[in-house]
Structure 1
């Protein structure tokens, strides 16, 4: 009889285990978030769906393994041109560049140049067939710059070896003559001068020489967002400038811009450059100046033509900064418009962009879903 009494607690425990396992709560308790999730993303608020069981597709979002890390937003024409180039057909690339406005042409040019840096057989055929095609000259020149930076690698100088530096400078030195040829073929085109700014950054041009080059850019395209993004890199502290010079450049561009130009995004890009590696609770993310920069860009985004090439990139910055300030419904509004593409700041600076994007997206989405449930 005493042995029977001893079995009663064991039977109760076994019954509890079976019930909890069948209703799923015990299995959920065993699961944990991925240990390598970025430290910038805090845990999502409590919701019916635990954060580690979050499925983007349940919320109308793109699954992590289908997110495009190359583009800031959809560009099916570029995708088609890249696909054709990979099979040796240069004609879609030629038509695409010829039919693009300067902003779109720069973005597409960089993508095509990166493809040529991997395999330039289609580009050599293009140049041989149409030697005076401005698009071919631009891609040829820019591909040297893309190849040089690829040979150097993306790591900081102290983590880059001598051979990488030598290869970088060897290839980069070939770019100015190719850019000059592109400028000769298309004298009104700003793209060759944008390429020269990358040369100026890599070769360490003095500020006076960079300023003269910048004059050539603004004479052709004074509100070219891509040009300002490239120039901002030169003026930031990690390259040839300082925080003060970077902010001065960004503020001057934003303050003088026409509504809807998207140049106010430079303020947030500059703030992010200074705060790279900091947690989202850093005071820099919550200062009055940062809040004013966010609000100014929100206004500018609303005034911007929907076809503007840099609109997705501006929205990505807003997602990050609105999330950092825990303005999550506003962040969700921007997120919905760019989800599925993360080839933009801040995500593209991360060694694995999806690992930065995914927890931020999860936090925003679950929080807004919880708010919707509570209000209902």
Structure 2
């Protein structure tokens, strides 16, 4: 089934390919239809994770011009400030590029921090206007990392997001990045946070994927220090693979699981972690994904990551 599917279908990496119900939101953003954009968010379930919908608007090229006009006209709109702040965060990372920090030139850093500072002002206004705006708090977790505000500030922003969202998977993934050694955290903090997310999560939620994220980030840290073979040996340990599989069974593979925005990311990281460890329990995640996949964490390891995803999805064999 997967081989036939990959043989005729390109991989779906765009958010609309993952979540077709958000296509109307993107069309509204492209056509500068603020009333329709706002109406879409009003229709989302109360206390749901709205961060993916926010990113659909934020990743729409040129949307900052439209959103700046809305912010100027809608003086009390927390949503407008959230969307424009998120757009500036996207633009900041585009300006920085994906190279190592040592390879980023001064002009790139100038644009990077300039956009992040503008985003921080807007998102601080958004959360002041509406302290229950979990999506804005989630974006501010990213800013705590990019602006180097420290782990305590990142945790505070995450706690605000989690307080006002029943399933804060996006915020959990973002704080996990803050806790990585490369951002000043440690692998012990990574795993402690991920296990706590799983422990507190209702069956069928997406939170268990954070356990897989933590092991992947641990492996990536080993890869940078000791090479790919050492990273594969780490994630191939039986106890590591068992913990990842148990997290999947409690969340995305649980009978009570109902796909919500973010499920493609969750299955993508489970598939990567288990197949990297040579574990056949990767199969149901590849089957759930079909031709959908999130670039993370595949592109962190493979130069031709799409080909690697197809190959491993077809053959289900260890790296």
TM-score relative to the length of structure 1:
0.72
Assess if the C-alpha contact under 8 Å between 1:144 and 1:175 holds in 2.
yes
* Structure 1: 5+ residue stretches without partners: 1-55, 368-376
After superposition, residues 1-376 of structure 1 pair within 5 angstroms as 59-61=4-6, 63=8, 66-71=10-15, 74-101=18-45, 102-116=47-61, 118-127=62-71, 130-221=74-165, 223-276=167-220, 277=223, 278-279=228-229, 281-301=232-252, 302-328=254-280, 330-349=281-300, 350=302, 352-364=304-316
Aligned residues: 307
Assess if the C-alpha contact under 8 Å between 1:268 and 1:290 holds in 2.
no
How far off is 1:131 after superposition? Answer: 4.5
Assess if the C-alpha contact under 8 Å between 2:64 and 2:88 holds in 1.
no
Assess if the C-alpha contact under 8 Å between 1:145 and 1:171 holds in 2.
yes
Structure 1 Cα separation of the partners of residues 314 and 157 of structure 2:
43
Assess if the C-alpha contact under 8 Å between 2:236 and 2:278 holds in 1.
no
Please tell me the root mean square deviation across aligned C-alpha atoms, in Å.
2.8
Assess if the C-alpha contact under 8 Å between 1:72 and 1:338 holds in 2.
no
> Which structure has the greater CA radius of gyration?
1
How far off is 1:91 after superposition? Answer: 4.2
How far off is 1:273 after superposition? Answer: 0.9
Secondary structure at 1:174 match in 2: helix
Indicate how the Cα distance of structure 1 residues 60 and 168 shifts in structure 2: closer, same or farther if over 3 A, else same.
Answer: closer
Structure 1 Cα separation of the partners of residues 68 and 313 of structure 2:
42
How far off is 1:314 after superposition? Answer: 2.1
TM-score relative to the length of structure 2:
0.84
How far off is 1:312 after superposition? Answer: 2.4
How far off is 1:274 after superposition? Answer: 1.8
Indicate how the Cα distance of structure 1 residues 348 and 339 shifts in structure 2: closer, same or farther if over 3 A, else same.
Answer: farther
Indicate how the Cα distance of structure 1 residues 352 and 89 shifts in structure 2: closer, same or farther if over 3 A, else same.
Answer: farther
Secondary structure at 1:151 match in 2: helix
Assess if the C-alpha contact under 8 Å between 2:133 and 2:164 holds in 1.
yes
Deviations 1:83-135 (A, max 9, x none): 3433443444322222224544101102211215x443333454466444443
How far off is 1:213 after superposition? Answer: 2.9
Structure 2 Cα separation of the partners of residues 72 and 288 of structure 1:
36
Assess if the C-alpha contact under 8 Å between 1:74 and 1:341 holds in 2.
yes
Assess if the C-alpha contact under 8 Å between 2:49 and 2:168 holds in 1.
no
Assess if the C-alpha contact under 8 Å between 2:16 and 2:23 holds in 1.
no
How far off is 1:192 after superposition? Answer: 1.6
Secondary structure at 2:183 match in 1: coil
Assess if the C-alpha contact under 8 Å between 2:5 and 2:290 holds in 1.
no
How far off is 1:256 after superposition? Answer: 2.7
* Structure 2: 5+ residue stretches without partners: none
Which structure has more relative contact order (CA 8 Å, sep 6+)? It is 1
Structure 2 Cα separation of the partners of residues 297 and 141 of structure 1:
33
Residue 14 (structure 1) aligns with: none
